[in-house]
Structure 1
Amino acid sequence: MDSLFQANLQGSGLMSQPLDVAYGSKVTIKSAIPGAGLLHSHADAYPDGSKQQQITGYTHKDENNDWIVKKVHGQTFGNTSETVEFVKNGDVVRLVHERTTRNLHSHAVPAHVSKREWEVSGYGLDGTYADGNDHWRVEVVEEISRNNPERRLRTLTTRFRLRHIGQNCLLRATGKSLPQWAWRQAEMACDRRITLDDSTLWNIENHVNALLPPAEPGQMRSPFLRNFVRLNLAMARSNNGLIPDKDKYDSLTSAPYEWPIMRLGLRMCGWGDKDVKFWLTGNPVVWLVSTLATVVLGPIQMLYYVVRRQRGLSDFARFSEWETHLYVCGILWGGWALHYLPFFLMGRVTYLHHYFPAVYFAAMYLAYFIEWTGRRMTGSGTARSTVALMLVLGIAAIGNFLYFAPFTFGFDYPAKELAGRKWFSTWNIYDEAK
């Protein structure tokens, strides 16, 4: 999630920072691209190209993420307790890596993975080399907070771009990873194609300046709708990123077609003989009978009634009775289908628990199917045969629950002792080799 969303979470310390960024402030700069992390540098140099200090993106908190905002070479700032000079939209600044004192730098050298873009490096020692390629213009793109007529650069609430003065390119998180010589960290480059998307957007996440007071309550608030949209987009990206590896066997995953027929269960923890073990599965009576009703009998029954109505044969005393039947079946069968069938279209990894929402609709459809069938056959939904069938299924379901209770509540003895409960050869309750 982005910095502003995290700042509004309970327990976050980001809300107590100064709001407006000034020259001399120590900051961390975060990319708007998920997974690109914070602008980072370390003492290691690029193995080729300029062979200058590496600039990367790093997703963890680290002192190597800290940068000092300074004026361009040849200019100074005179911050005191009474006068502070703030960074504004359009200002040309220099970013100095605090630990190594190198300047954020770019030049006409190809980047190391994205060859069409320019390399970004750490160059020179602060106050020693005056190179114009260390200068960047701050371009404010979006401001969440109100009352910012001077368009100051602000912590968390400002999204901005950094345009290199010499090359007229934008600091960009490419979305690619550097090789092992850069610890597989995210690649940063200077985009000469001027891509105006999230890859060139940044925000100040951490801000330290002893001369500035903390932000007032409410100044870093994020609108609810914005949080709602961004959270769901982040969850969707994370969900879509769970792609199965076909070259790697995974005993935990399962295919959607396997869920209704209980072909596989799911080990929830370590499986040592003395470990407390939990094995996720369904109630065979509920799952298998509801699958029979939902997948086979229900559609056949509905097709039978539809064909008879098209031929002018009426099985219902009133049209409203037929409408009610269609409505209930549409809700229950449709709920099952909408919660189950989309998994066949997903490219992400799937697990048994993904079927849980659908199985509730299937169980309710089973109960309605039995009651409806009994009413059509006997004229009453409470006929003895219907009630007897429901009692038998109910007792069988309770018996199944008790029989498979060790899987639900856990057991701390060898799984082989539960071999009798392995109803299907595909169930991985115990390892055959043991």
Structure 2
Amino acid sequence: MVKKKIIVPPGVKTPTISKKSNPNELPPNYKQGNKRPYLSTEITSKLINETSINKIDYIFVGLLTVLGFYTRFIGVENLNSIVFDEIHIVRHINDYLNGNFFLDITPPFGKIFYTLVAKILGYNGNATELVKAGQSYQGTDFPYVDLRIVSSVLGSGTISFAYLTLRNLGVRSIVAVFTSLLIIWENSFIVSSRFFMNESLSLLILSISVYSFTKFQITKPFSKDWARYLVLTGLALGLGISTKWIAFSTIAWVGILSLQQLWYLFGDLQVSNGQISRHIFARLTFLLASPIIIYLGVFAIHILLMNNVTRDSSLLSTHFQRSLSGNDLYDIPKYVTYGSTVTIRHLDSMGGFLHSHPYNYKTGSHNQQVTIFDYKDFNNEWIIEPHNTVVGQEKRVKNDVVIKLRHKNTGKLLRVDNFKPPMTEQDYDSEVSCFGNKTFSGNETDLFLLKVENEDPNRPFVESVNTKFRLWNQKKKCTILSHDLKLPDWGFNQQEVLCIESPNVERALFIFETIKYDKNSIDYNENPELFEKLSDIKPSFLTKFVELNTKMLRIFKSIKPHNNHNSSDAIIWPFLIRGVKYFVGDDTNVYLIGNPINWWLVIMLITSYGFVRIADLFRVDNQEDSIKYKNNANWIILGWGLHYFPYVLNEGEFFTSYYELSLYFGILLIGITFEYINFKKAKLSKILIIITLLFGYYFYSNLSPVTYGTKWDYESCINSKAVDSWGYNCDVYKTIV
């Protein structure tokens, strides 16, 4: 008879055999080899019985899913206004259906998913007037109710997979039901599921990932079911990272546990080297390569759906823009000439055009401001002039020549002044400004050497787009650059431009993106080479993919929390100090706040588990149920931390709702902990389950008016705040009689 095998759940630590134990008695899951005992990865009949799904389980799953859908679906049609981040999905659905390019800070799968649903429902992208949160859907054909129902379905699906995951971990059905009820009554999950945003989809995908991977662990290696759950895990991981980047933490979680599994397989004397090689290959293929391929595929669809030029497309590289319909870059001359009007693009910025406008600095020289502006604008145009008034027959600008740059709109010359820049005040920094008028011929401070980067002897002339250069001021012996620091409100929050003696080369590189010849000074008969146009280079998919992800990441990092009072520091999330305002109406609130019994119990159990592990340093506990609990707790807490600490360690505009993925792991921890308590003290377990459910339902019910956006009274609202910092506005209920 062929022995069935299992990959032991992660976190298994080789138990120490107590001196008081029978020396011939091995710890659970250990076998005696010829020379040593070893940890066996063989499936036991007990494990099969503990984790098998029966008819009762399917009945429970069905009932829990229906109850979960009801708690998420009820009244979704009552609020007919755009709620919080629904506006992003609305905009992007319209963008996709109209073929318009856009840049966002999250991967596109969630937006593509809701666009597909909207298209199936017959929507064609007509409601372009929907542009801001709080705006009414009424009077448009946007299918907001149907999309909210779909989101509710996704939210209820999470409950099903949570129950099945707990059963995979050997948790009894009754405890799995108890834990699922905590998820059903989790107010933050309900709010996220009632509106069509990425949170509900992301949570469902995480629950599928955890379920399929835990099922994969307890399935006979290389069987059809084993392969099925391996493929499902890879698919879920791929869709997860294609919805939110935090899902890379899910891949890290699966990767760490897979390495641990392989370690135990190496130690199992019954597993051959050939089998181990197959295990490694299967995991690399489906748990690493497969998600990456799916991520690439989702972006391929994303790029395919966006054909038309928009304001956002000006942030793209020139050749990427030229691949879009309606671009104005299709007829760019190849060569830069004296007297031509150019736009100068800073390569280390998002869109990055050298820019000036008729407003002066509030510090330093008080001359006209020079900045970097990310979008196309007539104030980005400059005229190239020679450093002297004599220009021969050759109109083209050669590499490494001295030029002047005159701002076309104001007629002033670009210059470097003897003042410190407004934002950077190092000794070697100088202010860059514009000075003079259209007749001002300038002086040494207005002369710049156009230093070509990686000069090619076969290309002696400056070309549009292809030639990278630096602007070196002869008088001050410094190079113009820009960085991420932005001017204050008087500078319209545009990027600072300065001149520095020893610059970071990447921050000092520019290109000429557009060129318009001065036709009055060009004789094409004498200069036929000026007929040449910039070559039309079609960027590959991978080139576009890398550029999009780079731009998205840069936008994400540039978002600061100080301008948004709805955001919060991740360090306070587990303690439920504050929530997220989703909607404030004349007499209603929608406020994302968690169920305190879940949030506070999770952090208590994580802390108490730390004390358990410390106690293990001074004792030996080889009981099988204790080992099972610790194994499960290890990987659950690992998942909690991997999805939480990236927000703690990084700066950005983060919201309490981002904690939901970690909270999901935390609620699973509640389930396996109560299972362990039942093993230790069954009566106490039953009492604790009843008390927890009562408190869970109490808080769910108490907070339901701000969860569902229903009417309330002022006194009840005030009394519902277990923490004073919960920010839903009780004043809106004062008008209710």
Query: 1:260 maps to what in 2?
Result: 574
CA distance in 2, matches of 1:333, 1:48: 53
Which residue identity does 1:259 align to in structure 2? W
Q: Counterpart in 2 of 1:140?
A: 452
1:196 aligns with 2:495: no
Q: TM-score scaled by structure 1?
A: 0.70
Task: Tell me the amino acid that sits aligned with residue 279 of structure 1.
Answer: Y
1:163: which partner in 2? 472
Tell me what 1:366 maps to: 670
Q: Tell me the SS of whatever aligns to 1:307.
A: coil
Q: Distance in 2 between matches of 1:408 and 1:149?
A: 68
Q: For 2:645 and 2:497, locate their aligned partners in 1 and report how far apart those are by CA, in whole Å.
A: 41
Shift of 1:359: 0.6
- What is the CA RMSD across the aligned residues, in angstroms? 4.8
Structure 1 range deviating more: 416-425 or 44-53: 44-53
How big is the shift at 1:67? 0.9
Q: Distance in 1 between matches of 2:362 and 2:694?
A: 71
Uncovered stretches (5+) of structure 2, i.e. residues with no partner:
1-102, 104-313, 520-530
Q: Is the 8 A contact 2:415 2:445 kept in 1?
A: yes
1:282, 1:55 → 2: CA distance? Answer: 48
Structure 1 segment 291-306 matched on structure 2, within 5 A = 291-296=603-608, 298-306=609-617
The answer as to whether partners of 2:371 and 2:497 remain within 8 angstroms in 1 is yes
Partners in 1 of 2:694 and 2:513 — Cα distance?
59
Match of 1:416 in 2: 714
1:252–1:56 Cα change, 3 Å? closer
> What is aligned with 1:277?
589
Paired residue for 1:20? 334
Contact 1:8 1:222 in 2 (8 A): no
Q: Secondary structure at the match of 2:623?
A: coil
1:111-151, Cα deviation, whole Å (9 max, x unpaired): 454464445443555676374554322223379xxx99527
State whether residues 332 and 514 of structure 2, in contact with CA within 8 Å, keep that contact through their aligned partners in structure 1.
Answer: no
Opposite residue 717 of structure 2, the aligned amino acid is A
Give the alignment partner of residue 547 of structure 2, picking from 224, 227, 230.
Answer: 227
Map 1:303-318 → 2, pairs under 5 A: 303-309=614-620, 314-316=622-624
Counterpart residue identity of residue 589, structure 2: K
SS at match of 1:333: helix
Structure 2 CA distance for aligned equivalents of residues 393 and 330 of structure 1: 23
Letter in 2 for 1:201: L
- TM-aligned CA distance change 1:429 to 1:99, over 3 Å: closer
The separation in 2 between residues aligned to 1:175 and 1:420, in whole angstroms, is 44
**Which moves more between the two structures, 123-132 or 161-170?**
123-132
Query: Which of 415, 427, 430 is equivalent to 1:105?
Result: 415
* TM-score (norm: length of structure 2): 0.45
**What is the Cα deviation at residue 56 of structure 1?**
3.8
* Alpha-carbon distance in structure 1 between the residues aligned to 2:552 and 2:360: 39
Q: Distance in 1 between matches of 2:436 and 2:565?
A: 53
Closer, same or farther: CA 325–228 of 1 in aligned 2, 3 Å: farther
**Percent identity over the alignment?**
21
Greater strand proportion: 1
Q: CA deviation at 1:233?
A: 5.6
- Paired position in structure 1 for 2:68: none
**Partners in 1 of 2:406 and 2:512 — Cα distance?**
15
1:22-49 CA deviation, whole Å, 9 max, x = no partner? 2154322233555895322334567897
Q: Is the 8 A contact 1:5 1:222 kept in 2?
A: no
CA deviations over 1:263-284 (Å, ceiling 9, x no partner): 4333223x3534x531011234
| Displacement of 1:370 | 2.6
The alignment status of 1:74 with 2:389, answered yes or no, reads yes
Question: What's the CA shift for 1:424?
Answer: 0.9
Contact kept in structure 2, 1:27 and 1:208, CA below 8 Å: yes
Alignment partner of 1:273: what SS?
coil
SS of 1:216's partner is coil
Aligned residues: 402
* Structure 1 unaligned regions, length at least 5: 80-84, 245-249, 379-383
The residue number in structure 2 matching 1:332 is 636
The partner residue of 1:95 within 380, 394, 405 is 405
- For residues 263 and 157 of structure 1, do their structure 2 counterparts lie closer, same or farther at Cα, with a shift above 3 Å needed? same
CA distances 1:167-199 after superposition (whole Å, capped 9, x unpaired): 4321233766668876675543433x2323444
